[in-house]
């Protein structure tokens, strides 16, 4: 309803303007002169012309394209934005030639550009569509014929105008329609190639080759035309800023097409000379279905460096566009890595010269221990007096009966160190007992003693591992990292919850303190009276006296 209301309003305003002019002048020619001299009337006429162009465009779109797909509409809006920007820049260059004819020519140019873009997208859709109807072919053929004739007509008109009247803005229009003519030829070649491919019963291997070289030639022609146009504009007018963006895209397209041609030829050379043919045993062991054509592989198959197998014809067609493996996307232009079937032994480390017999090898885990120190005296009767000598005939407290004979010169049997049986606490001569104080002196030289736990073993060399082992190690490491990340996320969640609870506790405690302070300020009572009441109260701990 909204799309219908604007044209109706425009038609109503146009009718009112024409009726007003005819009512005042009573004749056709004076009415036309009156409308052209009135700015408000001309504004209404311009809006009416724009509405008519939009309606004609919608009608042509409905006839030749029907309902536009989402991708086609998105591409149309994106390209139209850049085209309008370039048009505004062109207005700044040709501000002296600004006239209604100039605006009409630019509007018509945008109109034809939009239909060229839609036709290109619709022809590209042929390759992805399983069924193509006869109506589709009729529409495309008629539309390409009309666009080509219009492009040729405007090119000839711009050339004749330039020859007869000299350099003018028609140079820009002639160049733009020449670019559109190359686009139309490109679309026509694509349509013919797609049509031939659809009518063939077998797969057409050379289709990708034709597409590749067609894009290279067309992009090269566009670059040459843009360079010539810029040189002419710089000589006649000034630097054409509006032509820089399309010229850059044309140069980038030509560079990409040239790179694709070089890479495809290199990939085909590798396919013919470097990659081995797949044997029947390899086809039996692996999945013998080619993922490119979805057919079983019986013969004429190639094995890529990544051990994936495909039809030779399918690979040749695939390498025309992509130089990677269709399955794992591994580049086939890189040098082939050496086979892992017979891994080379790792190089041996250089032997170190032997150490002297009195020297200890350096180990970062060695720690100096303190030297022996005299035992501390313990009081009599305590359970910790292990090293005190007893007088003749006296017994040692803290020892079991029969542990000491009490004869002169006999030494009491000391219990073993508390942590000597644990593997994590090796006891060495000179090492202090647990729970004893530090040594009162430090010697000038303290020996390095090693732990009983050996140092960590350096990581092994991975050059001899197979691809399956490396993938297994990678999956295990990935699972470990994911589990650690989940644990860290849970810890972060718990910390956030604890922080929130602590904030709530602090707010609650602050509110309680404020309430207590306000209650104390409202009803103060002396401490002496409270203590007196407590002292004068009845003693509940004693039995009451009888009356």
What are the boundaries of each domain within the chain? 1-64, 67-243
pLDDT digits (tens, 9 = 90+) for 171-215: 888 999 999 999 999 999 999 998 888 888 777 777 888 888 899
538 vs 168: CA distance, rounded Å: 120
Greater model confidence, 546 or 21? 21
276 vs 315: CA distance, rounded Å: 13
177 CB-contact burial (10 Å; exposed 0-12 / middle 13-18 / buried 19+): buried
Lowest mean pLDDT among 256-265, 421-430, 466-475: 421-430
418 vs 304: CA distance, rounded Å: 67
CB contact at 8 A, 133 and 76:
no
H-type helices in 237-349, by residue range?
244-273, 280-285, 312-319
What's residue 346's pLDDT? 52
Residue 99 has pLDDT above 50, yes or no: yes
Greater model confidence, 274 or 398? 274
Of 187, 179, 169, 283, nearest in space to 233 by CA:
169
What pTM was estimated for this model as a whole?
A: 0.56
Residue 517 has pLDDT above 90, yes or no: no
86 vs 49: CA distance, rounded Å: 22
User: Residues 94-119: what's their mean pLDDT?
Assistant: 83
Give Cα 11 to chain centroid, integer Å. 52
Confidence label for 117 from pLDDT (cuts 50, 70 and 90) = very high
What's residue 190's pLDDT? 92
CB contact at 8 A, 80 and 110:
yes
What's residue 142's pLDDT? 94
pLDDT digits (tens, 9 = 90+) for 362-391: 444 444 444 444 444 444 444 444 443 443
What's residue 453's pLDDT? 62
What's residue 371's pLDDT? 46
H-type helices in 523-545, by residue range?
527-536
Confidence label for 139 from pLDDT (cuts 50, 70 and 90) = very high
What's residue 521's pLDDT? 62
Torsion, Cα 143 148 151 157, to 10 degrees, reads -120
- A 10 A CB-CB count for 128 gives 6
Residue 39 has pLDDT above 60, yes or no: yes
Greater model confidence, 122 or 345? 122
Residue 295 has pLDDT above 80, yes or no: no
Greater model confidence, 333 or 541? 333
Length of the chain: 547
CB contact at 8 A, 8 and 38:
no
349 Cβ neighbours under 8 A, 6+ residues apart: none
What's residue 410's pLDDT? 44
Residue 304 has pLDDT above 60, yes or no: yes
CB contact at 8 A, 17 and 41:
yes
Confidence label for 460 from pLDDT (cuts 50, 70 and 90) = low
Residue 220 has pLDDT above 90, yes or no: yes
Q: Taking all residues of the chain, what is their mean pLDDT, rounded to a whole number?
A: 74
Confidence label for 87 from pLDDT (cuts 50, 70 and 90) = confident
What's residue 53's pLDDT? 87
295 vs 193: CA distance, rounded Å: 24
Residue 338 has pLDDT above 90, yes or no: no
Confidence label for 507 from pLDDT (cuts 50, 70 and 90) = confident
Report the sign of the C-alpha dihedral through residues 288, 290, 291, 293, in that order. negative
What's residue 7's pLDDT? 80
What's residue 222's pLDDT? 93
Lowest mean pLDDT among 18-27, 60-69, 390-399: 390-399
The helix/strand/coil state of 449 is: strand
DSSP state of 289: B
Residue 49 has pLDDT above 50, yes or no: yes
pLDDT digits (tens, 9 = 90+) for 70-80: 888 898 888 88
User: Residues 344-367: what's their mean pLDDT?
Assistant: 49
Confidence label for 96 from pLDDT (cuts 50, 70 and 90) = low
309 CB-contact burial (10 Å; exposed 0-12 / middle 13-18 / buried 19+): buried
Q: Which two tokens stand for residue 520?
A: 């104390």
């Amino acid at each position: 309803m909204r799309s219908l209301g604007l044209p109706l309003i425009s038609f109503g305003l146009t009718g009112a303007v024409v009726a007003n002019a005819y009512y005042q002048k009573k004749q056709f020619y004076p009415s036309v002169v009156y409308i052209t001299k009135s700015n408000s009337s001309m504004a209404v006429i311009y809006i009416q012309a724009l509405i008519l162009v939009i309606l004609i465009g919608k009608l042509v779109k409905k006839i030749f394209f029907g309902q536009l797909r989402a991708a086609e509409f998105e591409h149309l809006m994106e390209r139209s934005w850049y085209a309008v920007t370039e048009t505004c820049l062109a207005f700044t260059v040709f501000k002296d030639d600004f006239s209604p004819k100039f605006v009409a020519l630019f509007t018509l140019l945008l109109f034809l550009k939009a239909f060229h873009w839609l036709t290109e997208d619709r022809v590209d859709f042929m390759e992805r569509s399983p069924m193509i109807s006869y109506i589709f072919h009729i529409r495309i053929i008629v539309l390409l014929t009309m666009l080509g004739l219009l492009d040729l007509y405007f090119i000839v008109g711009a050339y004749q105008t330039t020859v007869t009247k000299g350099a003018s803005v028609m140079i820009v229009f002639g160049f733009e329609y020449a670019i559109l003519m190359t686009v139309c030829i490109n679309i026509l070649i694509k349509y013919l190639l797609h049509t031939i491919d659809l009518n063939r019963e077998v797969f057409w291997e050379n289709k990708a080759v034709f597409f590749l070289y067609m894009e290279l030639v067309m992009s090269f022609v566009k670059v040459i035309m843009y360079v010539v146009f810029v040189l002419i504009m710089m000589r006649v007018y000034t630097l054409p800023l509006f032509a820089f963006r399309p010229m850059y895209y044309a140069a980038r397209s030509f560079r990409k097409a040239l790179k694709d041609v070089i890479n495809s030829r290199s990939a085909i050379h590798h396919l013919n000379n470097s990659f081995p043919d797949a044997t029947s045993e390899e086809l039996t062991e692996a999945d013998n279905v080619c993922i490119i054509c979805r057919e079983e592989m019986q013969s004429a198959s190639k094995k890529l460096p990544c051990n994936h197998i495909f039809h030779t014809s399918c690979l040749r067609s695939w390498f025309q566009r992509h130089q990677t493996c269709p399955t794992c996307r591994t580049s086939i232009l890189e040098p082939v890595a050496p086979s892992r079937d017979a891994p080379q032994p790792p190089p041996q480390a250089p032997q170190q010269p032997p150490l002297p017999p009195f020297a200890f090898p350096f180990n970062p885990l060695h720690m100096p221990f303190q030297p022996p120190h005299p035992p501390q005296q313990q009081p009599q009767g305590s359970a910790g007096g292990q090293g005190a000598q007893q007088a003749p005939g006296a017994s040692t407290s803290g020892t079991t009966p029969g542990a000491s004979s009490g004869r002169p010169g006999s030494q009491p049997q000391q219990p073993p160190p508390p942590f000597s049986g644990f593997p994590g606490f090796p006891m060495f001569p000179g090492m202090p007992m647990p729970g004893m104080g530090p040594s009162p002196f430090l010697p000038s030289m303290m020996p390095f003693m090693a732990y009983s736990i050996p140092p960590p073993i350096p990581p092994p060399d991975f050059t001899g591992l197979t691809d399956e082992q490396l993938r297994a190690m990678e999956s295990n490491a990935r699972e470990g990292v994911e589990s650690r990340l989940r644990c860290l996320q849970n810890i972060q969640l718990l910390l956030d919850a604890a922080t929130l609870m602590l904030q709530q506790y602090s707010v609650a405690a602050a509110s309680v303190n404020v309430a207590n302070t306000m209650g104390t300020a409202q009803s103060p009572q002396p401490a002496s009276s409270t203590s007196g009441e407590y002292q004068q109260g009845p003693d509940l701990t004693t039995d009451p006296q009888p009356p």
